[in-house]
Amino acid sequence: MKTSNMNHTVRILGAVLIALSTIAASAPAGPAAGPLKVKVTAELANVRQKPSISSIIIRQFPQGDILEAVRKEGEWYLLKFEPDESGATSGYVHESLVLALDEIPKQEQPSRLIEPPAKTEPVVVQPPRIERQVEKPVADAAAAQAAAGEAVPIGTAARASLTIYSGGSLIVGGDLNTAAQGLADYYTEITGVAGDAKVSPARLGLLYGGEFAFPLSPQFYVVAGAEFHGASKSSLVSYARGSVTDTFTATPGFQALPLRLGLAFYPVEYFFVKVGAAYYFAKASYDDRYVHDKYWQEWQGDATAQGFGFWGGLGLDWPLGDAFSLLIEATGEYASISGFQGTGTYLDSTSSSTVSETGKLYFWNARTSSQTSYPTAFIRSKSPSEAGVENVREATADFSGLAIRVGFKIRF
């Protein structure tokens, strides 16, 4: 009796084990968990701080690199990588720039057995095969944005460019402006009549030039260029004495050709900051003429010098397409240059020939009385030392000031 009960128990346990085995065999197997690997298929893949083409670029990986993706968010993969000098350890890359290597496609239904008709073999029905669609990679992030019909951010384009521009400048001018007013004041003393106008200093002028930009990174560029700018102003002062009117005409002038070298930084897209140095090829000139009835005097001179200066500014770089943009820039400059050398001439109505002197452009005070002295600047072959000359030094042309530039940029 006991043997019969034991056999019955064994049969029940065997039936339970067979049922459990059947349930386990019919359960679908889930995909194996593990990190997702992606391979860079573009020539250069930009990794951005956020999943947006307007976000800044924090890393770049060349074609063929295998990267680890934490997850996919829409059209972007969140990558995990070792930090570089920037300290970033994660970022987003667009799906058009990489190819997922071990992404497992979802199965619609696992394989299952369908009960066959009587006296036939079981039929196994396989789920339909799902082909994974891989988009054709785009050459780089800029091309991906262009393909999407969006403007390409300038600050992240990292491409060389040439800018042609023009604009205006406002400079200090320097000693020639002061000397022109000094001569006008001197003739006020000689004639005993106050002039009806002041001498206008040469300060405003036009400029034009060009600049190359070479990328060091998406945010930093080396810039090098040259421009020409100048300022000249002619003033007429009248001294009316009864039926006789004396006149004094002064025309100071300044010109410069600075060769500029600097660094441009894009803290955000479309906006930049620049700083750098310049080497100036400068020219200073004067043309003064005094007329009293039939008597007249005239001084003319041109001198050149070279020197260093510094500049800094900021501006907007607004895209007009993938290869063109509009540039608006404002800069401040410091460049005070001396050591001018050239030739000056003097001629009056009583002389039959012109008196010329080759030498330096000097600035000094000419004293006419114990109370009065007048600033003067002329080219002299040696330092002035005659009676009444005080505080002699080399004249200075000051190109310090502000400039506004508007140009057209072409990116390569």
Say which residue the tokens 């310090």 belong to.
400
With a CB cutoff of 8 Å and minimum separation 6, the contacts of 66 are 37, 38, 39, 40, 101
Whether the per-residue pLDDT at 105 is higher than 50: the answer is no
pLDDT of 341 strictly over 90? yes
State the average pLDDT over residues 293-299.
93
Of 100, 87, 96, 94, residue with least CA distance to 55: 94
pLDDT per residue as tens digits for the range 240-287: 888 889 999 999 999 999 999 999 999 998 999 999 999 999 999 999
Class of residue 384 by CB neighbours under 10 A (exposed 0-12, middle 13-18, buried 19+): middle
- Inform me whether the pLDDT recorded for 404 exceeds 90: yes
- Choose between 234 and 9: higher pLDDT: 234
Residue 52's Cα: distance from chain center in Å?
23
> Is 407 in a helix, a strand, or coil?
strand
**pLDDT (tens digit per residue) in 126-153:** 555 444 444 444 444 445 554 444 444 4
Residues of the chain with CATH 2.30.30.40: 34-116+123-147
Average pLDDT over residues 24-30: 43
35 or 19, greater pLDDT: 35
**Mean pLDDT throughout 354-380?**
93
pLDDT of residue 8: 54
Average pLDDT of the chain to the nearest whole number: 83
Q: Which two tokens stand for residue 361?
A: 């452009």
Through-space distance between the first and last CA atoms of the chain, rounded to whole angstroms: 99
Average pLDDT over residues 376-392: 95
Confidence (pLDDT) at 351:
86
The CATH fold assigned to 34-116+123-147 is SH3 type barrels. (2.30.30)
Question: Residue 102 is inside which H or E element, if any?
Answer: none
pLDDT category, 10, cuts 50, 70, 90? very low
b/e code 356-372 from CB counts within 10 Å (16+ = b): ebebbbbbbebeeeeee
**Structure confidence at residue 215 (pLDDT):** 95
pLDDT > 90 in the chain, percent: 61
161-411: in CATH 2.40.160? yes
* pLDDT at residue 368 in the model: 86
